[in-house]
Each structure stands twice: as C-alpha cells, then as structure tokens.
Structure 1
Amino acid sequence: MDFITALGTIIILDLVLAGDNAVVIALASRNLPQNMRQKAIYVGTAGAIGIRIVMTVLAAYLLTISYIQAIGGLLLLPIAIKLLKPSEGTGEISVAANFSSAVKTIIVADAAMGIDNVLAIAGAAHGNLTLVVVGLLISVPIIIWGSSLIAKCMDKFPMLITLGAAILAYTSATMIIGDKVIGSLLLDLNEYIRYILPVIFVVGVVSSPYFFRKKA
C-alpha cells in the first residue's frame, strides 16, 4: 500500500510538473512534417527521460551544488527566445529547422526545466529509484500525447506559440528566484522581485521577435 501510494504521488507530480515540458516539446517540433514531428517527440522525450532518471539518481548530490537551479533557469531563457526567432528573410516565426535541432532543443530544455521537478519527485520517492522509473514510464505516454495535441493546436492557433514561449520565460524566472543562493540574494535586495522578474522575462521573450525583425 505504501508503494502504491508513493507511486500515485509520483505519477501525479510527473503530470502536474510536465505541463511546461509538453509545451517546449510542441514548440520545438511543430514546424517539422507530421511523420518527422512524431519521431522527434518520441526521440526527444526518450532522451529527456533518460537524463531525468540520471538526475534523480544524483538528486542528493544536485542539492549540494550552489546555483544549479539558477543556471537551469538561465539556460531556459535563450531557448524560449530561440523558439520565437523569426526566420531569416521572412516575418514568420521559426522553431526547430530540422529533426536533429528539434530533438536537441527538447532534451536541453527538458534538462534545464527538470532540475526542480527531479528534486520534488526524488523527495516523494524517498530514494526508491524503481518508483521514479515506473512513475515516469506511466506518465510518458500522457506527456507525448499532450505535446502532440499542443503542437496541432499551435498549427491552428499561432498565438499559442507566443503563449508557450511566455510559459517558458515565466518558468525560467521562477527557477532563478527559487534558487537557494541567487534567489535569496535577489529577494534580500527587493522582496517584490518574485513578481517583477517573471514580468520582465515574459515581456522580454514575447517582444523578442520585434527586435529580430527590426535588425533584419
């Protein structure tokens, strides 16, 4: 019963925390042909899950590394900007130009976002790696289905692309604020930074296509 309860908790955590991961998978793969899109989602998700398992094994060690969450947040910010970068010579929004870059974007972004997720799941598993792996395996099909659905919605409603990038920018800011060292320093400087930084990041990312077009 304890095993089942812990497993249920981990599956729920996986699904709740996977929202932004599904968004970045959809963003990175949406410009690929349909057959390539599904393959990129499968390969990218598999690579991301592999990295998560390794990170979970090393969760106790990750907790001792200063600035790790802030670094993850900073890595995520340029990815959010890249996903909105206009194609050269056109005003259209460009995402991953080919299969390999789509897969790389999925894996790197998921690894950056996965730091706090992994720590939460590792805590719920109480060091039981079997629980973590089984929880991930159960939740992966739902994440893949969710990212495929989001990608199709983005095809019909382009505004969702901007919304997705804004979610990544917000996630980036919250990761930096949540860092034990950097977050504490920022909050000591100004307690309202927890509200100001996400707004700055979201506005900066959402407006970035304008500056790219202006330079072009």
Structure 2
Amino acid sequence: MELLFIDLNWELLKAVLIIIGLDLILGGDNAVVIAMASRNLPKVNQNKAIVLGTSLAIIIRVCLATVAIYLLTIPYVQLIGGLFLFYIALKLLNEKEEEVNIESSTTLIGAVKTIVVADLIMSFDNVLAIAAASNNNVMLIVFGLAVSVPIIIFGSKIILMLMNRYPIIVYAGASLLAYTSADLILKEERLENIFMSIPNEHLYLPLVSIVLVCFLGFSNKMVKR
C-alpha cells in the first residue's frame, strides 16, 4: 500500500513538473504578446490589462485542454497528437527568431482583447502538450497553468534571454516535448499489441524519441551553417 502511494505521488508530481516545463518552454512568445499588447497603456492600466488578459487566457486554455482530453479518446487521435508534438519539438529546435508584430491598444478593453485573441491563436501547441501530459486530469491542467503562467508573465524576458544564451535549454525543452510525444503515442490503445511486443517500451520509445529529435535538430543546424 505504501509503495502504491509513493508511486501515485511520483506520477502526480511528474505530470505537474512536465506541464510546468512545457508551458515555460512554449510560453515565451505568449509572454511577448502580453507585453506588446499593453505597452501603450497608461502605467496604471498596464497591470490591469496583464492580469485581466492573462486570467481570461488561462480560463480559455483550461477549457481547450479539457476538450482536448476528450478528443484524445477518439481512435488514433493520440497517435496523431503524438506525431504532431514530435513535429513541434523539431520546430522548436529549428525555428528562427522572428519579430512579433502585435498591435498595441490605448484602451484597457482593447489590450485585454488583443491578449486573449493572440494567446488563443498561439497556444494550440501549449494546449495539446499540456493535455497529453495531464493523464486526463483537469485539475492537473489548472494547477500547472496556475503555477507556470505567472512565471511566464513576470519572468518572460529572463526565460527568453536564457534560451538565447544557452541553447541547451531549448534542447531540454524539445526533449521534454519528444518525451510527451512518445508517452502520448504509447497510450494509443489500438497499437497496444504492437507496443507490448517491444521490451521495456515505456523506457526505450521515449528515449528513442528524445535522441531522434535532438539528432535531427542538431543535424539541421549543421546543414544550415
């Protein structure tokens, strides 16, 4: 009983840490959007716009992730979602830094609307990754977002600076996505018989996914040079 309790606690803690890590790695652009959308507001309203816009964005993300959890029960959607997460991991390693062009507003309502709409458009990868890591637990999604979003808002510049200065952080983020990708694919019940024929599949498939995404990302960077 005690070992089962420890195992359950570790699974819960692991899911929370993965959700927070995914949101930190994938949330840099969203943090820039928040800053740019509110930059022309009077200082008094800037914090209000950030808090209101982010609160609404969190609620929408929770709703979308909850819907995604149920969508992942459809046959082969977990396989498709896992492959898409693998693609996102590769994109994270290969994308070039682009200037984000967000129209700022001079009104509180306008800034909040910009934050919510832009976050909704940009957060699909976040939502899918978080839903995949949540083990079908909506409360984990709420907790993970509640912890990570304030860090993104107030620490976005530090996060982006560290990612630019230390590429290993980006590789760590891509590895986390690759792990989540493999974990999601392994949950595809229609492929369970195939996976069961692979020894220690829950160890080797995530490891292969991580090595493959890092190898492809690094190789692509070498070719571009």
TM-score band w.r.t. shorter chain: 0.5 to 0.7
- Structure 2 counterpart of 1:170: 179
From 78, 91, 98, the counterpart of 1:82: 91
After superposition, the Cα gap between the structure-2 partners of 1:204 and 1:118, relative to the gap in structure 1 and judged at 3 Å, is closer
What RMSD, in angstroms, separates the aligned Cα atoms of the two structures? 4.1
What CA distance in whole angstroms lies between the structure 1 residues aligned with 2:222 and 2:55?
32
Unaligned regions of 5+ residues in structure 2, if any?
Answer: 1-12, 38-49, 102-117
2 CA distance for matches of 1:192 and 1:13?
19
Identity percentage of aligned residues: 27
Provide the rounded CA distance (Å) in 2 between the counterparts of 1:159 and 1:76: 19
Q: Specify the alignment match of 1:7 in structure 2.
A: none
For residues 212 and 77 of structure 1, the distance between their equivalents in structure 2, rounded to whole angstroms, comes to 17
Secondary structure of the residue aligned to 2:27 is helix
Distance across 2 between alignment mates of 1:204 and 1:25: 24
2: distance between equivalents of 1:106 and 1:39?
14
The C-alpha deviation readout for 1:181-215, integer Å capped at 9, x for no partner, is: 33x23422213222222222112211223146437
Going from structure 1 to structure 2, the CA distance change for 1:109 and 1:63 (only over 3 Å counts) comes to: closer
Q: SS of the residue aligned with 1:99?
A: coil
Partner of 2:127: 111
Gaps of 5+ in 1: 1-11, 86-93, 126-131
Cα distance between partner residues in 2 of 1:186 and 1:45: 43
Q: Mapping of 1:20-35 within 5 angstroms?
A: 20-26=22-28
Task: Indicate the larger mover: 49-58 or 199-208.
Answer: 49-58
Residue type matched to 2:20 in 1? A
Name the counterpart of 2:46. Answer: none
Alpha-carbon spacing, 1:180–1:144, altered in 2? closer, same or farther (3 Å): farther
For residue 36 of structure 1, report the CA deviation from its aligned partner: 5.7
| Distance of 2:54 and 2:185 partners within structure 1 | 25
Q: How does 1:187-206 map to 2 (within 5 A)?
A: 187-206=195-214
String of CA shifts for 1:150-178, please: whole Å, max 9, x gaps.
Answer: 32322332221222212211121111113
| SS in structure 2 of the partner of residue 198 of structure 1 | helix
Letter in 1 for 2:62: R
Instruction: Tell me if the contact between 1:47 and 1:107 (Cα under 8 Å) persists in the aligned partners.
Output: no
Shift of 1:111: 2.4
1:41-66 per-residue CA deviation (whole Å, 9 max, x = no partner) reads x889965752431342675x436412
Give the 3-state SS of the residue equivalent to 2:189 in structure 1: coil
Aligned residue for 2:100? Answer: 99
Partner of 2:6: none
Change (3 A) 1:77 1:117: closer
2:114 paired residue number:
none
The count of residues paired between Structure 1 and Structure 2 equals 181
Q: Distance in 1 between matches of 2:154 and 2:167?
A: 19
